[in-house]
Amino acid sequence: DIQMTQSPSSLSASVGDRVSITCRASQGISNYLAWYQQKPGKVPSLLIYAASTLQSGVPSRFSGSGSGTDFTLTISSLQPEDVATYYCQNYNSAPWTFGPGTRVEIK
Amino acid sequence: EVQLLESGGGLEQSGGSLRLSCAASGFTFTSYAMSWVRQAPGKGLEWVSTLSTSGATTYYADSVKGRFTISRDTSKNTLYLQMNSLRAEDTAVYYCAKKGGTTTPGNYFDYWGQGTLVTVSS
């Protein structure tokens, strides 16, 4: 099974900061990588699929990059409404595993 | 508008059974693979099970294989998860999720239900 790791596990940044989260797969998954946002007490929502394709309705300050084993989610200018936990997911093959999550807070 | 509405959660004793339902609307139910994803209290997301678009193929996480069964009723546009031999570690919010895209490869989730809480007491 493919294992997903994320770093950091949590971060605190100021409004307007550029924030990056890294996701690593234990073996190559091409670009079959999705990112989800889960705000406190809410349902997860899809941000990005195919490593870099923004889901409809997602603000353009979010972007994704990477291929193979290393991926990055970037928030170009952190906003208060971006406080959430972010999960990556391998969707290349079953089991479709999630990373452990990265909690993003405002400093 | 895509809507997924789960039901059937509750408190059950260890070794017991529950059946979760997910009523789907706003899309062609038989054109998408459907899945269950769970989240234990204060923990991360865990994929549980997927039913293929055709309904002929099922996939399970090792943690539930042999105990849980995914199925659907296309006449009711409803997805089910039959959960048997429940354990304390099955305690979680269970989300129903729709696969993103019809022909896109892989299995990511573009719509999620509100979730239903399953609590298993030991």
Residue of A37, A43, A53, A90 best to disrupt the B interface, most CBs of B under 10 A? A43
At A1-60, the pLDDT tens digits run 999 999 999 999 999 999 999 999 999 999 999 999 999 999 999 999 999 999 999 999
Distance from CA of B3 to the nearest CA of A (A): 13
Q: Is A104 exposed, middle or buried (0-12, 13-18, 19+ CB in 10 A)?
A: buried
At A86-95, the pLDDT tens digits run 999 999 989 9
The tokens describing B8, both together, are 């059937």
CA A16, A87, B43, B45 dihedral sign is positive
Please choose, from the candidates B20, B37, B38, the residue with its C-alpha nearest in 3D space to the C-alpha of residue B78.
B20
A 27-56 near B (Cβ less than 8 A)? 32, 34, 36, 38, 43-46, 49-50, 55
Please choose, from the candidates A72, A43, A46, A83, the residue with its C-alpha nearest in 3D space to the C-alpha of residue B117.
A43
pLDDT above 80 for A96: yes
Residue A101 confidence class, pLDDT cut points 50, 70, 90:
very high
Q: What is the structure's pLDDT at B76?
A: 98
Distance from CA of B59 to the nearest CA of A (A): 7
Q: Report the C-alpha gap between A91 and A32 in whole angstroms.
A: 5
At B8-67, the pLDDT tens digits run 999 999 999 999 999 999 999 999 999 999 999 999 999 999 999 999 999 999 999 999
The tokens describing A67, both together, are 């291929």
Strand ranges of the sheet holding A4-7, from the earlier edge strand across to the other edge = A4-7, A19-25, A70-75, A62-67
Q: What is the structure's pLDDT at B104?
A: 76
Distance from CA of A83 to the nearest CA of B (A): 16
With CA atoms as reference, the chain B residue closest to A102 would be B44
